[in-house]
Amino acid sequence: MVRVLIGGVLALAIAMGVGRFAFTPILPAMQAATGLGTDAAGLLASLNYLGYFLGALGAGLVPHGTVRTAVFRTALIASVTSTAGMGFTEDMAAWAVLRFVSGLASAGMFILGIAMTLDALARAGRESWTGWLYTGVGIGIASSGLFVALMGDRLGWRGDWLWLGLACLGFGTLSWLWVTDPPRAAAHTAAGTAGGGSPQPSAPLVLLTLAYFLEGAGYIVTGTFLVAILKTMPETAQLGAAAWMVTGLAAMPSGIVWAAAGRKLGLWRALILAHVVQAVGILLPITGSPAAAVVSAALFGGTFIGIVTLSFTLGRQLSGGASARVIGALTAVYGLGQIVGPVPAGLVVARTGSFDSALVGATAVVLVSAALLAAGAWMAGRSGPATVALDARRG
């Protein structure tokens, strides 16, 4: 089981930490060398998230067994190839295709990798290990940030993409070997015990879904532009890559920490608190303070994976046991929000020459998400004290 967990962690590190988010620390060097504008960078980010959205929809249709293993491995190959491929060209159209493919691959690896790893842990009675799986995203972010910080000046942006792709190829071999699905009959039995029916619609579940969409649209502004934001200010220009490493390091324990908060405070309260903390982190770079920039990176990294973890857990509870369906739906709306966020932010920056308005807008969106969660918590509380107590215990 340890090998399966390691394979799952590495899959998330490759899919999310590198395939999706390595763009963030490499972006300033790409802009300096090629003249890539912030509006065009926002478009590339949104195409990546469009791919992720479509991949999330498709991943939910993949059947258990050997087909799921094959699709996961195909996504792994596509992720490695699209990462390395960024270093072979300066053509905007080629970059657009590569970032779109990377998004598709990230969704396939993320959703199927999580599903197969969690199924394997459940079969072995190791559900308590689940929180460790999400550390892979933080490991990938921290590792890619460290690599760019140490080697970026020597290798250039092309070398960054090429060597990260090569590293993903090496570590991805372990995921290829260790993350697999059993034959369809066994997988179907395991899935049946986990609950895979249709989600039961309710007002709290709808509000959670809307809030998750807004979270995707708000957090991704920082997720895309954090390093570029810091590079534009003289006081924080030297902190860009280091701040992204802080983001990754803070993200590593985020899922475990916020899951514990959910058990102590209740899932609704913990989720609202995580949104408020994240909103503060998004806004801090406006101050121009180096200390605030580091705190911003830590707060951002320390919340976004925790929000995913808490939202999935709460969604499973509100869905009446339809865990697979509700996680797929939440992932899709989150991906849709990420498509929406970067383009207007990039256009605002291109027009004003400053990230301040984009950060204020992203902060407002995340706070509106928190308000929707507060409404959902109130509605859930009206359904009876027993439901609230169950939520607090099972978080």
In percent, how much of the chain has pLDDT > 70? 90
Q: Distance between CA 333 and CA 318 in Å, rounded?
A: 17
Both tokens assigned to 334 = 């989150």
Give which of 327, 308, 307 is closest to 317, Cα–Cα: 327
CA distances in angstroms from 160 to 16, 22, 164, 339, listed in the order given: 16, 9, 6, 25
* Torsion 100-101-105-111 (CA) sign: positive
Rounded Cα gap, residues 208 and 311, in angstroms: 8
pLDDT above 60 for 195:
no
Among 188-197, 243-252, 329-338, 366-375, which stretch is predicted with the lowest mean pLDDT? 188-197
Q: Which helix (H) or strand (E) holds 381?
A: helix 356-382
Mean pLDDT over 244-252 rounds to 88
Half-sphere exposure of 108 (CA within 13 A, CB side): 25
Euclidean distance between CA atoms 18 and 279, whole angstroms: 24
pLDDT of residue 385: 45
Mean pLDDT computed over every residue of the chain:
86
Between 79 and 390, whose confidence is greater? 79
Q: What pLDDT score was predicted for residue 167?
A: 96
Q: Identify the pLDDT of residue 194.
A: 44
Q: What is the mean pLDDT of residues 109-120?
A: 87
Lookup result for tokens 């939520």: 391
Q: Of residues 301 and 201, which shows the higher confidence score?
A: 301
Spacing of C-alpha 185 from chain mean position: 31
Q: Cβ neighbours of residue 173 under 8 Å, at least 6 residues apart?
A: none
Secondary structure (3-state) at 330: helix
Q: Residue 352: CB partners within 8 Å, gap ≥ 6?
A: none
Q: Is the pLDDT of residue 45 over 90?
A: no
Name the band, by pLDDT with cuts 50, 70 and 90, for residue 312.
confident
Alpha carbons 187 and 281: distance in angstroms, whole number: 41
pLDDT value at 191 more than 70? no
Residue 353: CB atoms within 10 Å: 10
Based on DSSP, count helices (H) and strands (E) in the chain, helices before strands: 17, 0
What's the mean pLDDT in 207-234?
Answer: 87
Compute the average pLDDT of residues 173-200. 66
The residues near 43 (Cβ < 8 Å, ≥ 6 apart) are 96, 342, 343, 346
Based on its alpha-carbon atoms, the radius of gyration of the chain, rounded to whole angstroms, reads 20
What does pTM read for this prediction?
Answer: 0.79
Asked whether residue 76 carries a pLDDT value surpassing 50, the answer given is: yes
Query: Going from the N-terminus, what domains does the chain have, and what CATH number goes with each?
Result: 1-194 (1.20.1250.20), 197-395 (1.20.1250.20)
Angle of CA points 5, 305, 276, to nearest 5°: 160
At 193, is the pLDDT very low, low, confident or very high (cuts 50, 70, 90)?
Answer: very low
Whether residue 386 is predicted with pLDDT greater than 60 in this model: the reply is no
- Pick the closest to residue 341 from 315, 313, 369 (CA basis): 369
**Shortest CA distance to 369 belongs to which of 216, 203, 259, 221?**
216
| Band (199; pLDDT cuts 50, 70, 90) | low
Residue 259: per-residue pLDDT: 85
Instruction: List pLDDT tens digits, range 123-149.
Output: 888 877 877 888 898 899 888 888 988
Q: pLDDT at position 387, please?
A: 45
The Cα–Cα gap between 26 and 241 comes to 9
Residue 274 CA neighbour count, 13 Å, CB half: 32
pLDDT reading at 114 higher than 50: yes
Pick 392 or 107 by higher pLDDT. Answer: 107
Q: What is the mean pLDDT of residues 329-334?
A: 85
Print the SS3 string covering 263-325: HHHCHHHHHHHHHHHHHHHHHHHHHCCHHHHHHHHHHHHHHHHHHHHHHHHHHHHHCCCCHHH
Q: What pLDDT sits at residue 307?
A: 93
Please say if the pLDDT value at position 392 is more than 70.
Answer: no
pLDDT given at position 321: 52
Q: Region 233-259: what's the mean pLDDT? A: 84
181 three-class SS: coil
pLDDT at position 279 over 90: yes
